[in-house]
Every structure is written in C-alpha cells, then in structure tokens.
Chain A
Amino acid sequence: MVEGVSYKFYSRDLLIVALDLLQSARHVQLWGEELGVGPDGTRLRSDMMDSDLFLSEEVVVCRRHGSHSFVLAVQLFIDEAVVSWSGAHYIYPIRARVLNVRDRAVQWVTVGYVPHVGKPVARTAAARRRTSDTRNGVLQRCLAVLLRPFVGASQDGVAVEFPGQRVLTAVPRLVALVTDQLAERSLFCLMGNACEFFCSHCVVRRDVAGGPSGVGAAACDVTAVLDAQLQGAIARDADPRPSLRNQLRVAHSALAFVPAIGAVWGMVTDNKRLYDIISFDLLHVWKLGVVRTVSQRFPSFLRVACAGQDARLGPVPSSLEALNLRAWEMGHLCVPSPTPPGYVLALSSFTLFFLFSVVLSRTPSEHPRCCSEGGRR
C-alpha cells in the first residue's frame, strides 16, 4: 500500500533462486582469480569473476567468514522499458544471474515483476509529487521484499554442501546492477533531472562537468548520502511536504527515499560498493536513441579525428550517409524480444565498435563477414 493505493508484487525468493542456480549448475567457479599482466603490461581481464570489485569483495568475505567461504555473486537486471509481454499486467521484470555458474549458456532468471505506476491524470504539482513518491516507494518496497532473505544471508552467509567436499559458506553479494541511467537514479533514490550532482559516483557539479575543473571531483560519500536519505525518508513518512526535502535535494541531489539495495552487506559497509555495481544496459540505451544522440556529434568528431582530411568513406556527408545506412542495418539486427539480456553487452559493444571501425578504418572492411558475426551474437 503506497500513497493509498494497493499494488501487487510478484516475486520469488532471490536467495533460493541463486542457490538453486548454483545447485543445478554443471560448472561452478567459487573463487575469483586475477589474470595477471599481459605482454604489453596491461592488466588482463576476462569477466566479472576476475574484476577488481569481485576480488575485493572476496577478500572481505574470506576475512569475515573464514577461508571456507566464497562470494555468491548475483547480478540483477531491472529495466522499466521491458514490460511484460502477457498483456494482462502492466509490470516489468527483475532478472537475476549468478556469476559463479560457469555453464556455457548464460542463464537469467526472472525473480520478480514490479507494477508500473502510470503518469498522473491531474496536471498539478501535488499530483506529480504523489505519483513520483508512489513510483519510488513501490520500487523500493518491491526490492525490499525481494531482497529480504538475501540481505540477512549477505551478513551471515549460507551453508552450502557440495558433493564430495566439506560444507562451505556462501555469502551472497550484489556485484552488478544492469540498468539504464534512469533506472539507476531511481534505484539509488537520486534525482533524475534538474539536479546539481547528476553523477552517482562523484560529486561533480553540473556546471563544471565535462571540463578540466570537473576532473578531480571527489567520490560520492555513500554513507553520508544514505544516512541523509534514511533521515529524509523517516521525515517524509511523518510529513510528506516537499519543502522538507529541500536540504536533501540541495546537499545530495537525493530523494527522500532510502535505497533498499543499501541493506545488502557490502553496499554501504566494508568496501561501500553501492555506486560501483551499476552496469549500463547498452542495447536498451541504443534502442532509446543513443544513435541519434551520438550521430549528432559525429561531424565534429570526424573533423578532429581525421585532422582535416577525409575519412575512409569520403567527406563528412558521405560518412554520415554510411553511418545512417549501418545504423539502419543494425536496427534490424537489434530486435527487441523477451529473451534474457545476456547478449546485451556483447552485441552493443560490437555494434559501437563496428560503427567506428567503418569510418576510421584504413583497411578495406569486410562488411558481410562482420555483419554476420553480429547477427550470430
């Protein structure tokens, strides 16, 4: 019940889902491993299991729970634009994946359906405020229900017995949150627009962002923001007047809600990875118009990148025509479907790479081969 309206949230127990996935997996990797340094001196990385975030969490977990413990790493995918295909409910899914499962096929499991809160009918500030509060409240409460056992287990761990081995302690952690930026701000209960601090990671101000003076901005203080949000949420529960939230808005560009994800151990404690777990859903952003946004910058980019000379495809208008054609072709490849988002990063990164390679490559490209590779992925 949020703002006087009752909503239904369909969910599974995230902890049990993660343990089921772990139990039914054929290949399991419990501990991460740093890959070392490549021949050119750069750090080698292959996936999340050897990332800095995972390895640092693993150190904390082993220190707290002993050497016979491991990180049960869970990724979440939340996207309000991906609505249920049933047609009977206007809900959007939350999907989860366990990184420890190393089977060939990436397995995303739907663990919940969050009800969508529509726009207000009345065009008043009060109605907009009420709808905004409802939308934030519903999302956070749904997450709180979804994460309830998971939160407890992230602090105490869960005993897991593997065949032929002794009992190990699985310590669940959220290591990635695949969303777009709008959902990111909503999940962290931060202002989505008209805010001074629009970056979740640092406190760079809007007027200096993108310039030299904005480079050295300090990192965001997770504990301070969440403490203020918690106090603001308690004050909002007692008195919903927007004027009481001005301090929170000015100081942190935050909403008077507290992110339920912050209750998971490791988000606000230890390494405080709350703002580091965001992974943008590139394909979703792509479909929402990133092509148009990026393409508007291409003429300026081409002039600088080609140093006054023509690109491989000729002058700027010809290059833009080729880009438009390629974007149109890629649009046909990126067909929205209810399949899990495991292909997102691979396809999108390939697409962006290919668009640039078409323009800047000095060698003759093999369009049919590249295109077919993209289609297979």
Chain B
Amino acid sequence: MDGGAEADDATSPPPPRPPHNMGAGVEAGDAGVRWRCWFCLREFAAKATRNHHMSARHPGCNRLVSPQGFIELHAQSSTTEHRPGAVGGESSVARGVLGVSAGAASMTPPTPGMPPGPGHGVDDGTTSPTRPALGGLGFVRVPMDGYARGTLPVRRPRTVFQTSTAARIRAYYEAMPEASRTKRLVPPSVGDRPSRFNTPLLRQTLNFSLSAGGAGLSEADQRWYASVLLLVERRGVACPPHDGRRDGGHRRKRTRATALVGSACRPSEGGGGDDEGSTDDEGQASEHEVGELARTFPTKSAFVAAVRDEQRRVLSKLC
C-alpha cells in the first residue's frame, strides 16, 4: 500500500479547486451559478426551477441523465481551468495512469467544454461525495489499489471490468456498504468442537428435536421432550427439577426420598457416595443403569443447550 500511495501522490492530478462562487459545493452554495436547460438555451437561477421548466416544457425528453455532450455552465469553466493536462500537458506517467483506469476506453483527452468520458477523470474521492457515477454520469472512481505497485503503467485486467454492462452493475453494488459488511454468523472456532450427539440414540434425539413438525421443537418443547426421555430412562420415577442453579442461594430442603431419586439423575456425581444413595422405585438402581441420555445430558437444560450448540457448530461450517 505504501508504494501505491506514493504512486498516487506522484501521478494523481492536483486536487481540484472548487468552482467560482461555490462554497461547500455545487448543490449547496450556488449563489451566482446559472443552470441551463438541457434541451434549450434558457438559463435559470436555481436547479429546481430548471427541473420544473424541463418537466413542463420538455415532458417527452429523458430527464434522468443529461444529453450527451451537455455540461453545466459552471462546470465548463472548472473543467477547462482545473485540468491543465487535459489538452496536451499530460506527462507520460499520468497518461499511463489514465490508460489503466480507462482501459479500452478512448485515450484521447477531453476537449474543453465537453464532459470527460468514463475513465478520463481520476477521482480522488474529494470532489464527489456520492457514489462513483457510472456510465456517462460523471467520473469513474479508480480504487486506491488500482494503480500498479512500483512501476507504471501496467495494464490490469479490470479494463473490461470498467466497460461492460455486467461490470458496471457489479461495480454499482460493490460500491454499496453492504458488500463489505458481511460477517460470519458463528465463528469458525465453534466448529472445531466435537459433537456431543455422537451415538445413534443421541443423533436420533437431535434429529427429532430439530425436525419435528417441519420446523423442529421450540426450546420449551425441547425441555419437555428431554424431561420425558429422562423420565423414561428412570423408568417413570419422577425427578425434581435440577438445572444446576441455585434459587438465589436458597437451596430447597430435600427429603430423603427426593434426595435419593435426585441423585439418580446425576450419575457421575459423588462416585461411590451415589451408589449407596441411588435407588429406583424398587431400590435396586445403580449407576450403570442410568440411561445414555442422562449420562450425556443430566438435565433438560443441558439438553437444550447442547442442541443450541450443535446448531451453532453446524452453522460455523457454512460459509
């Protein structure tokens, strides 16, 4: 970029001065500026008056763009005044740069009083605050990296890019900010984690959660679904809600029975301590009888979170 910046400094034309009697720009400070009709020789003091005149007097004419060869009165003077190299004073380097930007366009310099064709002007971004005009509406903005690094001039493959209709459409949308604001929905690092749904049963459970009814289960239904599955794995013994959270620091006082049943929901906790406390409805359960789902997702909240993580894991692989 450094080389390109140096090249820009060396080859870009001098910054254009504002036209006469124009403060902030053509649109804002237009005191003294006359606006000539595109289709006749009448002149007006304001642009709106000129537009009204054209809509009333020339309704059948194209008012989207000015006719070929038309140039505003104030722009005529500025064009001839601020482009000293346009007639014949261009250096070879500058001419090469114009050739790079214009590509297949004509290399003949613009005549005074006539609008510069596409590719003739090198807009540095300070003269036109709007998007680069494309296709005969003004200047074609050459990107900052459009110049060759090091030596000039060098042909670039963008010569066709600047001239065909398809390329101009592409440039039109590339100039919009949306083109560079895209970002990944999920960071790629999320995709590096292994899936927790790594057995056929768990995969079928995930499949059902994400596809039941067409759109899959809602999070509330996923909780319900997980609680049903956990209940089945416990052979129908109810389990108190256990989400791994404390209700404001107030732990619920558990009876012996609920504590014993609850411990069956947490198979890996406590090691041998659970074995002596764990029991099913017949008092014969042990840790190896805990189901596969309960081993992986001890609580329904863990199941819901795992489903959400799995969705993000898959989305991270999409680009």
Contacts and interface: CB of A to CB of B under 8 A. Distances in A.
A binds B: yes
Interface of A: 1, 10-13, 16, 85-87, 140-141, 144-145, 148, 151, 155, 223, 226-228, 230-235, 237-238, 243-245, 247-248, 258-260, 262-265, 267-269, 337-338
A230 B134 CA distance: 8
9 contacts: A141-B178, A144-B179, A155-B166, A235-B64, A244-B64, A258-B169, A263-B169, A264-B166, A268-B165
B64 A247 contact: yes
A85 B55 CA distance: 48
Contact of A231 (B135, B167, B182): B135
A298 B303 CA distance: 57
A262 B169 contact: yes
B169 A260 contact: yes
A285 to B, nearest CB: 22
B185 to A, nearest CB: 7
Taking chain B's interface residues, is the majority helix, strand, or loop, or is none over half, making it mixed? loop
For the complex of A and B, the 9 pairs showing the least CB-CB separation, nearest first, are A144-B173, A85-B215, A263-B170, A263-B169, A268-B165, A262-B169, A235-B64, A247-B62, A268-B166
Q: What's the interface size class on B, roughly?
A: 20 to 34
Nearest to B59: A246
Interface string B52-69: 000100000111110000
B256 to A, nearest CB: 44
Contact of B214 (A85, A233, A258, A262): A85
A234 B134 contact: yes
Contacts of B185: 10
Contacts of A230: 134-135, 165, 168-169, 172
A233 B173 CA distance: 11
Nearest to A270: B166
Contacts of A337: 214
B319 A145 contact: no
Interface string B133-145: 1111100000000
Nearest to B61: A247
Given A141-B173, A265-B166, A338-B214, 18 more contacts: A1-B177, A12-B319, A140-B173, A141-B176, A144-B179, A145-B178, A145-B179, A145-B182, A227-B135, A231-B135, A234-B134, A235-B65, A247-B63, A247-B64, A258-B172, A260-B169, A268-B166, A269-B165
Given A151-B170, A234-B134, A262 B165 contact: yes
B5 interface: no
B64 A232 contact: yes
B154 interface: no
B252 to A, nearest CB: 34
Q: Most chain-A CB neighbours within 10 Å: which of B64, B174, B318?
A: B64
B130 interface: yes
A266 to B, nearest CB: 8
Contacts of A151: 166, 170
A141 B133 CA distance: 18
B164 interface: yes
B196 interface: no
B65 A231 contact: yes
B242 interface: no
Contacts of A12: 318-319
Contact of A262 (B166, B176, B177, B179): B166
